[in-house]
Structure 1
């Protein structure tokens, strides 16, 4: 019995020693990367942070891209209203400036180009949990707007907008009308960037790349107080803009079609909300038959493709 105990203790010791060596080796390799030299983020903190890990994995996917490329991370560019806009990953390349908005999310992602708030749906038993985040397309447009202001001395710059999601998530019914905007899972980014670079060709010289890098680098060294204030402002923008406040009544063809189907004379803002499952408008309807006849409920206008419904008081029906 004592021998078995000693053997188990030896195996456990070997396991933890081996794990420690692996972590130490990975940490030493990590400290040689350009990501660490710019962000100064410790290895274990990077692994524990979903956002930082997504940025690092984006960098790992792109660091061997062909041509002359330099990277910056977490740039906090000032805006007119004393707030900031944060660029997750920026690559200055021969073919222009690539702006990457990184969303290291799992689950199902719903959203449209014109919605201010998108939805992440995570399975939880037979139900799902809905989380909301700002539209990454709009975020990147804002990033590029301020980049153009700070880089006005470089009129030849071509800007490329990329929205990257984790390989663990599924992008559901996301429409983009702008042919230049790219939204994808992270594993496709290197191939897409190479294709864009071949299409555009050389627009920046090595001297211009260095000059832009030196100009923007200070914005990647923001103090923690500024970062905390930025996160606070982002949360304040998300909370009051849950999807049910994002629909416009007038001119929305889906709402008008749903109105005609229900025979309603008019539809007000109180009669409309957004389906958390597919992002389409939901209308407040009245059950006409069955044991629930006369009761109010929210029904998705995407029926029969989307069958999501809620009771009038907001509780999901079984």
Structure 2
């Protein structure tokens, strides 16, 4: 037993001696610095990937030519005392293009009308909010800001990284879902003039004003944007709470609950817009919440 204890003691003493030698060597500070940098890199990797994706898209959009005006990273009032951030807006007489970029890799599964999509990398699955819905909110905020209820020539584009692989079962009718290399081709396919030059000029002036404000008070705009995101999350939690309570109610009471707006308790009514039918709140424009027509199916299944 003593021999065994001596062996164990000698083993740990050897480790301590090795550590002391390593810590006093010239290589120790270099290794520590490398580890710290690696930790920071892993922590900031999502931001780095996102910034790289934005840079790739900006580089491509510069090649559009003088007929187009491009705006990047635009914060637009969303009508709910907050801001929504739009990655890129391209204006021209051929149309206005609102672009949401996703620098995601792996397999992308999604449906036009479902609230969430899925990213799969090997066996790891990650949910993301439906980018078509997300960009629809951006389009609506833009229309409100430029003073138009509807505009037939606003095009929604969702651009994913080339490292992604689409696994969609159906196509999309309300937005272009593409990869970065297809961005210029998608925009350039619109060749007929549908918007007057004066209208485009007015839109550009309004967006330039926003960018000027953002440049002067960048921190304030970002803080307001984050506050908007927090409010949206709180609203979703409230809606989920309503759904949970409805499951415990009778079918009649539950169906009545699902006709109420989860944000302001107004009445949801069937409306028709550019992208088809949807449920809109009766308190519009104070409340801009919308629900998919699939809500009917949800009611019948309750």
Question: Into which bin does the TM-score normalised by the smaller protein fall?
Answer: 0.5 to 0.7
Matched residue, 2:276: none
What does residue range 116-265 of structure 1 map to in structure 2 within 5 Å?
116-123=115-122, 128-152=123-147, 158-178=153-173, 181-196=175-190, 198=191, 200-201=192-193, 203-205=195-197, 207-220=198-211, 221=214, 222=218, 223-233=221-231
- Could you tell me how far apart the structure 2 residues matched to 1:240 and 1:166 are? 33
Aligned-partner Cα distance in 1 for 2:61–2:45: 18
What TM-score, normalized to structure 2?
0.55
Query: Is the 8 Å Cα contact of residues 156 and 204 (structure 1) preserved in structure 2?
Result: no
Match of 1:258 in 2: none
1:242-282 per-position Cα deviation (integer Å, ceiling 9, x unaligned)? 9xx9xxx9xxxxxxxxxxxxxxxxxxxxxxxxxxxxxxxxx
In the alignment, the residues of structure 2 paired with residue 237 and residue 87 of structure 1 have an alpha-carbon distance, to the nearest angstrom, of 21
Contact 1:55–1:102 (CA<8 Å) still a contact in 2?
yes
Computed over aligned residues only, the root mean square deviation of the Cα atoms, in angstroms, reads 3.3
Match of 2:82 in 1: 83
Distance 1:78 1:70 in 2: 21
Distance 1:83 1:117, change over 3 A: farther
Residue aligned with 1:64, SS: helix
Structure 1 residues 176, 138: closer, same or farther in 2, change over 3 A?
Answer: farther
Q: Secondary structure at the match of 1:68?
A: coil
The CA distance in 2 between the partners of 1:108 and 1:217, in whole Å, is 37
Which residue in the other structure is 1:289 paired with?
Answer: none
1:46·1:52 contact (CA, 8 Å) conserved in 2?
A: no
Report deviation, 1:234.
6.1
Residue deviations 1:133-177 (CA, integer Å, cap 9, x gap)? 111111122211222222236987721111100001101125334
SS of the residue corresponding to residue 195 of structure 2 reads: coil
SS in 1 for 2:189: helix
- Return the offset for 1:85: 2.3
What is the deviation of 1:92?
Answer: 1.0
Q: Would the alpha carbon gap of residues 154 and 138 (structure 1) be closer, same or farther in structure 2, given more than 3 Å must change?
A: closer
Aligned length: 192
Structure 1 segments unaligned to the other structure (5+ residues): 1-44, 250-318
Aligned to 1:73: 72
Give, in whole Å, the separation in 2 of the partners of 1:46 and 1:204.
43
Match of 2:14 in 1: none
C-alpha distance in 1 between matches for 2:132 and 2:118 = 14
Separation in 2, partners of 1:218, 1:57: 25
Cα distance in 2 between the residues matched to 1:93 and 1:232: 34
For residues 82 and 144 of structure 1, what CA distance do their matches in structure 2 show?
Answer: 17
Deviation at 1:75, TM superposition (A): 2.0
Per-residue CA deviations over 1:8-52 (Å, capped at 9, x if unaligned) read xxxxxxxxxxxxxxxxxxxxxxxxxxxxxxxxxxxxx99953223
CA–CA separation in structure 1 for the residues paired with 2:146 and 2:83? 17
Q: Secondary structure at the match of 1:98?
A: strand
Deviation at 1:231, TM superposition (A): 4.7
Distance 2:113 2:148 in 1: 31
Structure showing greater Rg: 2
